[in-house]
Amino acid sequence: ATAQTGATIKEAAAATDKALTIPPWSKQPGALVGSRPYGKPSEFESGVIRHLRKTDKQYFSSSTRTPLQELDGIITPNGLFYERHHNGIPDINPVEHRLVVHGLVDNALSFTLNDIRRFPSQSRIYFLECSGNPGYAVYGKTAAEVNGLVSCAEWTGVSLKTILQEAGLKPEAKWVIAEGADGAGMTRSIPLEKCLDDAMLVYSQNGERLRPEQGYPLRLLLPGFEGNMSIKWLRRLQVADQPVHSREETSKYTDILPDGKAREFTFVMEAKSIITSPSGGQQVDGKGFHEIRGIAWSGKGRISKVEISLDEGKTWQPAQLQTPVLSKALTRFRFPWEWNGEPVVIQSRATDETGYTQPTLESLVAVRGVNNTYHNNAITPWRIASDGKVTHARA
Amino acid sequence: ATAQTGATIKEAAAATDKALTIPPWSKQPGALVGSRPYGKPSEFESGVIRHLRKTDKQYFSSSTRTPLQELDGIITPNGLFYERHHNGIPDINPVEHRLVVHGLVDNALSFTLNDIRRFPSQSRIYFLECSGNPGYAVYGKTAAEVNGLVSCAEWTGVSLKTILQEAGLKPEAKWVIAEGADGAGMTRSIPLEKCLDDAMLVYSQNGERLRPEQGYPLRLLLPGFEGNMSIKWLRRLQVADQPVHSREETSKYTDILPDGKAREFTFVMEAKSIITSPSGGQQVDGKGFHEIRGIAWSGKGRISKVEISLDEGKTWQPAQLQTPVLSKALTRFRFPWEWNGEPVVIQSRATDETGYTQPTLESLVAVRGVNNTYHNNAITPWRIASDGKVTHARA
Amino acid sequence: EQKFGFGQPVTQEDIAAWDINVFSDGRNLPDGSGTVAQGASLYAQQCASCHGAKGEGASGDKLAGGAGTLASSKPVKTIGSYWPYAPTLFDYIRRAMPLTAPQSLSNEQVYAVTAYLLHLNGLVAQDAHLDAKSLAAIRMPNRDGFVPDPRPDVQQQSGSSEKQANDKPLAQPQ
Amino acid sequence: EQKFGFGQPVTQEDIAAWDINVFSDGRNLPDGSGTVAQGASLYAQQCASCHGAKGEGASGDKLAGGAGTLASSKPVKTIGSYWPYAPTLFDYIRRAMPLTAPQSLSNEQVYAVTAYLLHLNGLVAQDAHLDAKSLAAIRMPNRDGFVPDPRPDVQQQSGSSEKQANDKPLAQPQ
Ligand code: HEC
Ligand code: HEC
Ligand SMILES: [Ca+2]
Ligand SMILES: [Ca+2]
Ligand SMILES: [Ca+2]
Ligand SMILES: [Ca+2]
Ligand SMILES: [Ca+2]
Ligand SMILES: [Ca+2]
Ligand SMILES: [Co+2]
Ligand SMILES: [Co+2]
């Protein structure tokens, strides 16, 4: 079968020795109940972790990737949610933490965590994706290396609109400038329209409080927008008439074009998909039935269609979408496939409810060049060799 | 605000000293990126764990509870998913593990984990609940103590129907007897109808592989049925013409009635709900707006309605249900409420799509007595005293 | 119905070591036998520490007594008072006991200790010798004590004019 | 619009220490000033180890050079070649640098090192003295280098008769 677990699963015995013996775990008590007050994965899954790029120059500002090829479903467990920090992971005491809302408001306010949690709450399943996922260095060996800066969780918090209404917006208000309490003081400007739409201030992720890596105790969440804007460790919201033009929305997170101009305020993550099984680094164990599995998502709403090509993009056939298909959440797709043992390139492309279809790298590069850095949502093709080895078809 | 976090959150400063200072985490780098390849919660949340009952005589066969009052949304993080083991937690090597399907089938088969994962997969969000949640000892101090043997996750695996079709069912097949590979050799008989309906064999939970505590590497999952039947560490499925009448479906998991007779094969978990905030052990911090929050679920399908009573059950008002409302999954409900500072009893009751409404303890006991042990889905009333202290209204 | 061809065919021989389900009618009980006396000595060595010298219970369940209590306010559920089928006892002990070393007893030992526990409950004589046939023949006192699930069984309340949920403590045994 | 009454009202004075956003037009730049010479010495002590003696970059970003490269196959994006607004430099250094001790510099020190970095990029003279007004007055070379987001910008393909996705390696700089 397609190797897709952290433990290397091998056929344990030759076909000639099929007599079942009673394994040790059936003949002894297991670990005592209560010995794991907060659980963790099996030791046999210890390889399923978030990886750094070994080539990074320093690890104050860097990222780790969700091991997409090891995961099923649409929920990313909190321990494997991708990371992008600009000056490490702060360890914030929630009792000391404050959120200040000021600027073009009727009443500047400072909130404790308890204040924030007291407002009406909502829970939503949304993906988050770094706009540099994967940059234009598209030769990642595995699905994680290609697209591992995306994850999905159930977030709970308060609508940002509720908080802004509490402070009272002045008529000149047009942007909200969000700032983190980390050593990077991460700062991004958000159009007011988004802030009054589906933006949230979240304090919980997948049921429990946010992890420090995802902004504990409070994070801004902008569904469908590039991850960097969902400011972690949120300490301040300044309502303004214009964007601040912070370093993170000028020097970084702008998309340079072949003519030297750069796009600014490129917020939305366009529709994308990737096949996670079989995917780079895996082994297809023989001819016959295999289910092609993957994830699709769009910052503009629901995924309406995912298609699979088995002939280098000449023809496309619809995949099954796991329901419920949620807006701005990962959507799991599946495609039943008989492999005849011959070399093949497999790829997926997503279409969202606006009718937008994920492009090929070629058509994307034709418009944006290769120095664009962000918002590469190109199709990822995987090549399967006759021995079943799966590699990036562009490598 | 309602105290609902693991860290004890207090107002940090008196109102006379509001000048904000720059906290230490804004003035230094945080932990290096990549230093937490598999993340865990903040140290400030170290109190949010699964608890044992201190009164249990031994911890080979015991349970730990999900801290419902600390959680938001509907997904239970894997580290806090409730536990019920009958001889501890085995540590199974997935390479060695086998599932045998035999009995009234055309072809008895032995499957490796890879074989299982190769079948068409599906992902579904379902709750699991122990039928002894809470027994009839209904005086738990907290929501966890009352109803903490329920959790909810996104499960991925193969439809049990697919596996049974692979082996080929003989016409006499009526029951499937499932057996665990743990030291308890846990054994339960499942009606074939359920096995061909929504039953699954699952290998992943909330994206990642099952945790050892939830049956790694393979578990049976019977949506809506009492948790004990979703056999963990699944090693065998014997197709039979009758139930085996194992110790776990005769001596245990049968419901004794006042006349000394006991109900057997009481599988479905009927509709239930509990208010998790404000709930026992918490403190309502003053008059004014509070959002009453909680969870509802039914083993028979979707929750259609949750109602709140603020007058000891005399009148009931509908709560808001968080969408999407999923079949046999937790459903989050919310109810906006102004507290006038006077003592009050708050309670919730759930109705499911079959029209069944969660009963009071009185009406349930009137039929079943108090020695029934299992399937107590009664309404839990919380009393709020004038000082804001929340206690079990029956205590 | 699509067949995928995954999994290894196995024979009855291949799975013999795992094929331990004993049905309530005694089906699949193995060969072998044991006596109450043998069981008493095994019980004293390997079971009494958790279940008490005479099955009165300790860290492990109470294994004898309770006859006639099921309809009382404090039902005592034991093998003798509650279990509907004797073969289940063989099944359970073989797979799960002693707790610290499940599946360590031989079939003979399981027959023996099963016989002893049935004797402790007054269900077989002091000199009983149990095998597949004699074990399956035992009729347990609570054999007819089980009824099917009639739920929904609780009268439905609805609307806001109904009888109120009482928040007063409920009288509760133990 | 319901008001809940949660949160503490705060004055401009209360939040002064946190109110550090500097807008692109220089709004909210603080009092104070600094010289290129002061900045050079501070830079050598506190910045050069990560950014190189002359801003050529090391573990930290390259801070000077790259003029005229943006439209090339290897754009070099620095303060001088890429940043649209000079006040942003003050804003960023004050909140985030030095990486090991953010918010440790005085406003004077930030003005000084900002002046030095602008000088390294040939944007202010050797003897420059920067304050709120003069910093806001600097026009950065790439001031007009940014365009709004025109997406969706990529021609859509659909159906199964379209141009095929190439699986061949794509020529890629660096
Ligand atoms: C180390 C402790 C320990 C030892 C030794 C032990 N038991 Fe047990 N026994 C238990 C516990 C604990 C349970 C309850 C398990 C559960 O909750 O599933 C149990 C349950 C049982 C039951 C089921 C009772 C019922 O009414 O459901 C039987 C029968 C039993 N044991 C027989 C034996 C026999 C026979 C031996 C020796 C061969 C033995 N036990 C040795 C701890 C022990
Ligand atoms: C210990 C290493 C270190 C020290 C010391 C340091 N920096 Fe940095 N600097 C970095 C890193 C790493 C980044 C990139 C941060 C990121 O990715 O967000 C950076 C980014 C910058 C940038 C943004 C560059 C761009 O084009 O976006 C400026 C400006 C800067 N530093 C100035 C300074 C100044 C001025 C000092 C001294 C007062 C200083 N740095 C000290 C490591 C350092
Ligand atoms: Ca073998
Ligand atoms: Ca307060
Ligand atoms: Ca203070
Ligand atoms: Ca195989
Ligand atoms: Ca029966
Ligand atoms: Ca602009
Ligand atoms: Co990013
Ligand atoms: Co249970």
What residue ranges define each of the domains in chain A, with the CATH number in brackets? Answer: 84-263 (3.90.420.10), 272-392 (2.60.40.650)
- Name the residue facing B259 among C71, C153, C169 (closest C-beta): C71
Residues of B in contact with C51 (CB under 8 A): none
First-to-last C-alpha distance (Å) of chain C: 54
Calculate how far, in angstroms, residue A308's C-alpha sits from the geometric centre of ligand 6: 25
Instruction: Say if C13 is an interface residue toward chain B (CB within 8 Å).
Output: no
Whether chain B lies against chain A with 3 or more Cβ pairs closer than 8 A is yes
For an interface test with B, which of C3, C95, C104 has the most B Cβ atoms less than 10 Å from its Cβ? C95
Whether residue B21 and residue D17 make contact (CB cut-off 8 A), yes or no, is: yes
CB A72 within 8 A of CB B204: yes
For residue D69, count CB atoms less than 10 angstroms from its CB and return exposed for 0-12, middle for 13-18, buried for 19 or more.
middle
Cα-trace Rg, chain B: 23
What average pLDDT does range B306-310 have in this prediction?
98
Whether chain A lies against chain C with 3 or more Cβ pairs closer than 8 A is yes
Q: Is residue D15 situated within a structural domain?
A: no
Please give the structure tokens belonging to residue A342: 């011959």
CB B346 within 8 A of CB B392: no
Q: Convert the pLDDT of each residue in A227-244 to its tens digit.
A: 999 999 999 999 999 999
* Percentage of chain B modeled with pLDDT above 70: 95
Q: How far is CA D143 from CA A177, B23, B37, in A?
A: 21, 35, 41
Residue of chain B whose alpha carbon sits nearest to that of D10: B18
Residues of B in contact with D4 (CB under 8 A): 288-289
Q: How far is CA B378 from CA A16, A97, A182, in A?
A: 55, 39, 46
Cβ of A86 less than 6 Å from ligand 2: yes
pLDDT of residue B201: 99
Q: Is residue C4 situated within a structural domain?
A: no
b/e per residue A323-352 (b: at least 16 CB within 10 A): eebbbbbbbbbbbebebeeeebbbbbbbbb
Please give the structure tokens belonging to residue B301: 């399908």
Chain D: touching chains (3 or more CB pairs < 8 Å): A, B
Please give the structure tokens belonging to residue C63: 């294994």
Q: Is B83 helix (H, G, I), strand (E, B) or coil?
A: strand
For residue C168, count CB atoms less than 10 angstroms from its CB and return exposed for 0-12, middle for 13-18, buried for 19 or more.
exposed
Is residue B30 predicted with pLDDT exceeding 50?
yes
Please give the structure tokens belonging to residue B155: 């499960």
Q: Convert the pLDDT of each residue in A321-347 to its tens digit.
A: 999 999 999 999 999 999 999 999 999
Q: Is residue C10 situated within a structural domain?
A: no
Comparing A6-20, C92-106, D65-79, D87-101, which segment has the lowest mean pLDDT?
A6-20
Name every residue whose Cβ is closer than 8 Å to that of residue C11 and which is 6 or more positions away in sequence: A18, B108
pLDDT of residue B17: 60
- Name the residue facing B260 among C70, C166, C170 (closest C-beta): C70
Q: How many domains does chain C fold into?
A: 1
Q: Convert the pLDDT of each residue in A98-152 to its tens digit.
A: 999 999 999 999 999 999 999 999 999 999 999 999 987 767 999 999 999 999 9
pLDDT of residue D158: 58
pLDDT of residue D137: 98
pLDDT of residue D162: 41
Is residue C12 predicted with pLDDT exceeding 70?
yes
pLDDT of residue C173: 32
Calculate how far, in angstroms, residue B376's C-alpha sits from the geometric centre of ligand 1: 26
Is residue B356 predicted with pLDDT exceeding 90?
yes
Residue of chain B whose alpha carbon sits nearest to that of A183: B26
Is residue B16 predicted with pLDDT exceeding 50?
no
**CA B267, CA B255: separation in Å to the nearest integer?**
11
Angle between helices C87-96 and C107-120 (to 10 degrees): 120
Q: Is residue C87 situated within a structural domain?
A: yes
pLDDT of residue A18: 79
Dihedral sign for Cα C155, C161, C163, C169, please: positive
**CA B90, CA A31: separation in Å to the nearest integer?**
6
Whether residue A19 and residue C5 make contact (CB cut-off 8 A), yes or no, is: no
CB B236 within 8 A of CB B108: no
Instruction: Say if C14 is an interface residue toward chain A (CB within 8 Å).
Output: yes
pLDDT of residue C158: 58
Calculate how far, in angstroms, residue C139's C-alpha sits from the geometric centre of ligand 1: 22
Q: Convert the pLDDT of each residue in C107-154 to its tens digit.
A: 999 999 999 999 999 999 999 999 999 999 999 999 999 999 999 999
CB atoms within 10 A of CB C56: 14
| Ligand number nearest to the C-alpha of C84 | 7
**Distance of residue B32 Cα from the nearest chain A Cα, in angstroms:** 5
Is residue C161 predicted with pLDDT exceeding 60?
no
Whether residue C18 and residue A15 make contact (CB cut-off 8 A), yes or no, is: no
Is residue B148 predicted with pLDDT exceeding 70?
yes
Alpha helices by DSSP H, listed for B64-142, are 113-118
- Name the residue facing A19 among C14, C102, C104 (closest C-beta): C14
Q: Is D87 helix (H, G, I), strand (E, B) or coil?
A: helix
Q: Is C103 helix (H, G, I), strand (E, B) or coil?
A: coil
Q: Token pair 């960023």 is at which residue? A: D92
Using CA positions, which residue lies closest to atom 23 of ligand 1? C61
Residue of chain C whose alpha carbon sits nearest to that of A336: C4
Is residue B246 predicted with pLDDT exceeding 60?
yes
CB atoms within 10 A of CB D44: 12
**Residue A367: CA atoms inside 13 Å, Cβ hemisphere, count?**
18
* Percentage of chain A modeled with pLDDT above 70: 95
Cβ of B61 less than 6 Å from ligand 1: yes
* The amino acid at B210: L
**CA A238, CA A244: separation in Å to the nearest integer?**
10
pLDDT of residue A202: 99
Q: Is residue D120 situated within a structural domain?
A: yes
| Ligand number nearest to the C-alpha of B86 | 1
Q: Which residues of chain D have pLDDT under 50?
A: 160-174
Is residue B343 predicted with pLDDT exceeding 80?
yes
Residues of D in contact with A360 (CB under 8 A): 157, 165-166
Whether residue B183 and residue A332 make contact (CB cut-off 8 A), yes or no, is: no
What are all long-range contacts of D51-59, with beta carbons under 8 Å and residues at least 24 apart?
D54/D120, D55/D117, D55/D120, D55/D121, D58/A57, D59/A57, D59/A58
Instruction: Say if C67 is an interface residue toward chain B (CB within 8 Å).
Output: no
Q: Is residue C167 situated within a structural domain?
A: no
Q: Token pair 């141009």 is at which residue? A: D163
Calculate how far, in angstroms, residue D1's C-alpha sits from the geometric centre of ligand 4: 20
Q: Give the atom of ligand 1 at the shortest distance from the alpha carbon of C92.
A: 29
Please give the structure tokens belonging to residue B154: 């996104």
Cβ of C156 less than 6 Å from ligand 1: no
Q: Is residue D111 situated within a structural domain?
A: yes
Chain B: touching chains (3 or more CB pairs < 8 Å): A, C, D
pLDDT of residue D161: 36
CB A66 within 8 A of CB B38: no
**CA A72, CA B209: separation in Å to the nearest integer?**
8
* Percentage of chain B modeled with pLDDT above 90: 92
CA B50 centroid distance within chain: 12
**CA A65, CA A146: separation in Å to the nearest integer?**
9
Please give the structure tokens belonging to residue A2: 């397609």
What average pLDDT does range A64-76 have in this prediction?
98
Q: Is residue C149 situated within a structural domain?
A: no
Is residue A166 predicted with pLDDT exceeding 50?
yes
* Percentage of chain C modeled with pLDDT above 70: 89
Question: Quick one: pLDDT band at residue C159, thresholds 50, 70, 90?
Answer: low
CB B91 within 8 A of CB B97: no
Residues of A in contact with D105 (CB under 8 A): none
Whether residue B19 and residue D4 make contact (CB cut-off 8 A), yes or no, is: no
Calculate how far, in angstroms, residue B20's C-alpha sits from the geometric centre of ligand 5: 6
Is residue B5 predicted with pLDDT exceeding 90?
no
Cβ of B389 less than 6 Å from ligand 1: no
Cβ of A251 less than 6 Å from ligand 2: yes
Residues of A in contact with D173 (CB under 8 A): 370-371
Is residue A7 predicted with pLDDT exceeding 80?
no
Calculate how far, in angstroms, residue A232's C-alpha sits from the geometric centre of ligand 9: 12
Residue of chain B whose alpha carbon sits nearest to that of A114: B1
Chain C: touching chains (3 or more CB pairs < 8 Å): A, B
Instruction: Say if C7 is an interface residue toward chain A (CB within 8 Å).
Output: no
Which CATH number do you get for residue C102? 1.10.760.10
Question: Quick one: pLDDT band at residue C11, thresholds 50, 70, 90?
Answer: very high
- Name the residue facing C85 among B245, B311, B313 (closest C-beta): B245
| Ligand number nearest to the C-alpha of A247 | 2
Cα-trace Rg, chain D: 21
Domain range for residue C81? Answer: 66-137
Name which of A94, A57, A67 is nearest A4 in CA terms: A67
Strands C146-147 and B262-263: parallel
For an interface test with C, which of A11, A25, A289 has the most C Cβ atoms less than 10 Å from its Cβ? A289
Instruction: Say if B155 is an interface residue toward chain A (CB within 8 Å).
Output: yes
Please give the structure tokens belonging to residue B392: 């079990």
What average pLDDT does range B69-80 have in this prediction?
98
pLDDT of residue C155: 82
To 10 degrees, the CA torsion angle through A31, A33, A38, A40?
A: 30
Residues of D in contact with A267 (CB under 8 A): 149
Residue of chain A whose alpha carbon sits nearest to that of B293: A121
Is residue B390 predicted with pLDDT exceeding 90?
yes
Instruction: Say if B217 is an interface residue toward chain A (CB within 8 Å).
Output: yes
Whether residue D8 and residue B21 make contact (CB cut-off 8 A), yes or no, is: no
Assembly ipTM: 0.94
**CA A129, CA A175: separation in Å to the nearest integer?**
22
Calculate how far, in angstroms, residue B253's C-alpha sits from the geometric centre of ligand 10: 8
Please give the structure tokens belonging to residue B311: 């007058």
Q: Give the atom of ligand 1 at the shortest distance from the alpha carbon of C100.
A: 1
Cβ of D76 less than 6 Å from ligand 2: no
Is residue A54 predicted with pLDDT exceeding 70?
yes
| Ligand number nearest to the C-alpha of C8 | 6
Bridge partners of A290?
Answer: A337
Is residue B6 predicted with pLDDT exceeding 90?
no
